[in-house]
Copies of this chain bind each other. A is one copy, B any other.
């Protein structure tokens, strides 16, 4: 395992210590627990927004706490859910009477703990909590049938949900309105990824799966969950076409739509490659007359040092566009 770490069991806490040292103007922690991260700039009267999840995905999740986005994030071990108690402590800290919205990815551990935290907040603290679950990976399951639960994994598209909801809360909308905007963003985003190499969880010390020297896995999840197919690695343009075919057909995105596009590096893939991918995405969307409002390119949601990338599309309307364009300032995302 080639990592620049000390004892693997100290990995998450030492990472957090470094984060608080580097960004004291933006983030701090509550409950005397490094893993209960909250904004250093609480805005009174605003709906609080909390997220949470396992470590190993920086800048997700905690990196989006800051002005115009999120107010708190509970931090789990690598690829593990944080506890309901941690979520509750953050909820109490960030609530200022307008209630709290939870936004998190569609994983069983997170759902269980966020649901429990929401109940405790309601019964014990009289804080109203609503939740929006992001699950937009088209490779992970089919779309939910009417009335059924969405079983898709949440991956990089949650960035768009954070951005829209964060801007709506910052504009002092109430909890129901902020939830509706988060829900609309979640329903209009679709993602698909491809992995070229595995990653190593520090406490485990060896890769969670193997991929041959010339292999890729299309549709793999950000914890190494099985994708749609394995095959020999193909030219970038061909990979992008296959991914966009699946993404575009799913919502579907159609001629005349306007979208924001997130090209997300999973960890070890260079920015060069992400821009080569961007070029091809632009070709395909131009041909289909889907208009791109803005490209976001870089590492937004990683899987430790995995090589690969994902593409996310968010279908915009005037409301979502307004919130996507609003300014934000977090340790990892600054928009003027």
For A19, the chain B residues whose CB sits under 8 A away are 275, 278
- Say yes or no for A21: interface residue by CB 8 A criterion: yes
- Say yes or no for A239: interface residue by CB 8 A criterion: yes
Chain A interface extent, by class:
35 or more
One of B7, B196, B329, B334 near A4 (C-beta < 8 A): B196
Copies in the complex: 2
A128 to B236, CA, bound (A): 43
B2 touches A276 (CB 8 A): no
Quick one: closest B residue to A269, CB to CB? Answer: B4
For A305, the chain B residues whose CB sits under 8 A away are 268-270, 307
B270 touches A270 (CB 8 A): no
- Say yes or no for A53: interface residue by CB 8 A criterion: no
> Which of A10-18, A129-137, A176-184 is the contact stretch?
A10-18
Quick one: closest B residue to A67, CB to CB? Answer: B336
Given A270-B305, A305-B270, A334-B335; A5-B276 close (CB under 8 Å): yes
Quick one: which of A59, A279, A305, A308 has the most chain B CB within 10 A? Answer: A279
Quick one: which of A7, A15, A295, A335 has the most chain B CB within 10 A? Answer: A15
One of B275, B307, B309 near A22 (C-beta < 8 A): B275
